[in-house]
Amino acid sequence: MKAILAFEDGKIFKGSSFGASGETYGEIVFNTSMTGYQEILTDPSYKGQIVTMTYPLIGNYGINEEDVESCKPFVEGFVVKEYSKIASNWRSQKSLGDYLKENQIVGIEGVDTRAITLHIRQTGALKAVISTVDLDQKSLVKKAKDSCGLLGRDLVKEVVCEKAYEWNKTGKYKVVAIDCGIKFNMLRILADNNCRVIVVPATASAKDILGLKPDGLLLSNGPGDPAALPYVVKTVKELLGKIPMFGICLGHQMLGQALGGKTYKLKFGHHGVNQPVKDLKTGKVSISVQNHGFCVDIKSLDKKDIEITHMNLNDNTLEGMRHKKLPVFSVQFHPEASPGPHDANYLFKEFIKMMEAARAKKKRHK
């Protein structure tokens, strides 16, 4: 079946359909990962976006039920150079194409993904449409122009859990995770580090969270424009200084705003498993997984209270910060995604130490 990918600026790519038939809209981004397409598809942070994979062959190891990062795929569409018709892996349970069909995700293959990537890098993030039902190019370009972008959109409400739930029942430390589109591996790693994790929706109030008497708070990743989430920022601001906090990706941006900073949209964002990040304290460079189109503006942060801890070596954007007085820190990249494969695991250990110190301080004051 024929398929067309059309950009809002008039750029057209013709290919073949794989996955579900139909029509889908979103901001188009490129991801530089060679593997991990299943984790990418099920990352709620991709809500509102069409993902182009730069690696040319996708689908060769199929799909399994263990490697998902959420309850279902959240990408709006999937673009690849070549879809592998053969899925060969001992853990594979179904093909990528069948998985996309089951979840109503439109895919297109047989397009020049290098040309797509170069176009996005030159022009910046653009709105796009993939269609297997409307093959009129002018019509599709107009549809792309008229579709919603990401600026000002609260997409968190479309991906979060409806009510609080327990991820696991036991653990030395009780951690509340604010779900803005949380990836399961964050919860898995916390559980592996002797934490009992309770997940609450992004709409949970500071009072709701404090009522659970947590040792620490995890601010999760999520989709869309961080400036469109004042209710989450308000909650984080009210909790500052009351419990240790660890923010990841969107959680980092929420914390940045709660500390008085501002966010802005990157030209084409950071999406992939090979982003170099420098730890300014140790000088060590880690290879990180990233998925974000917005960033905290370093200039907007008060350096009297906030220490910059990590920087992106590709474009010198902010990748990590820590409050100088409060038990609060965050990173823009994804330490739970096992890049390197263990370069960033130490950040979860730091969170545990922070909770230990806070617990010891409480005992001293009793």
ω into 339 cis (within 30 of 0):
no
| pLDDT mean over 188-207 | 96
Tens of pLDDT, residue by residue over 257-276, are: 999 999 999 999 999 988 99
Confidence at residue 337, expressed as pLDDT on a 0 to 100 scale: 77
Integer Cα distance of 328 and 257 in angstroms: 13
Confidence of residue 366 (pLDDT cuts 50, 70, 90): low
Nearest to 168 by CA among 192, 150, 148: 192
| SS3 assignment, position 99 | helix
CA atoms of 276 and 270, how far apart (whole Å) = 11
Cα distance between residue 193 and residue 345, in whole Å: 11
DSSP for 298-365 reads GGGS-TTTEEEEEEETTT--EEEEEESSSSEEEESS-GGG--TTTTTTHHHHHHHHHHHHHHHHHHHT
pTM: 0.95
Neighbouring CB atoms inside 10 A of 213's CB total 9
- As a whole number of angstroms, the distance between CA 136 and CA 302 comes to 52
- pLDDT interval class at 339 (50, 70, 90): low
334 as an active site residue: the answer is yes
Quick check: 277 and 318 in contact, CB under 8 A?
no
CA distance 121 to 158: 28
Q: Which member of 69, 249, 270, 310 is catalytic?
A: 249
Confirm if 218 and 175 have CB atoms less than 8 A apart.
Answer: yes
pLDDT digits (tens, 9 = 90+) for 318-333: 999 999 999 999 999 9
Query: In whole numbers, what is the pLDDT of the chain averaged over residues?
Result: 95
Sequence ranges of the chain with CATH classification 3.50.30.20 = 2-146
* 6 in Cβ contact with 27 (< 8 Å): no
Is the pLDDT score of 311 beyond 90?
A: yes
Supply φ then ψ for residue 233, to 5 degrees.
Answer: -60, -40
Write the class of the CATH domain 2-146: alpha beta
Tell me which of 346 and 114 has the higher pLDDT. 114
Confidence of residue 69 (pLDDT cuts 50, 70, 90): very high
Q: What is the pLDDT of residue 309?
A: 97
Q: Is the distance from CB of 215 to CB of 173 less than 8 angstroms?
A: yes
- Cα 20 to chain centroid distance, Å, stands at 24
Whether the predicted pLDDT of 364 surpasses 90? no
- Name residue, tokens 């019509």: 139
Q: What b-and-e string marks burial along 252-271, b requiring 16 or more CB atoms within 10 Å of the CB?
A: bbbbbbbbebebebeebbbb
Question: What pLDDT is attached to residue 346?
Answer: 87
356 is catalytic: no
Q: What is the pLDDT of residues 233-258, one digit of tens each?
A: 999 999 999 999 999 999 999 999 99
Is 80 exceeded by the pLDDT of residue 344?
no
Mean pLDDT of 138-163: 95
Distance in angstroms (rounded) separating the CA atoms of residues 226 and 152: 8
Q: How is residue 266 written in tokens? A: 């990157």
For CATH 3.40.50.880, the residue range(s) in the chain are 156-364
Note the pLDDT of residue 42: 96
SS3 at position 51: strand
Rounded to whole angstroms, the Cα distance separating 17 from 110 reads 9
CATH of domain 156-364: 3.40.50.880
Tokens of 5: 């990918």
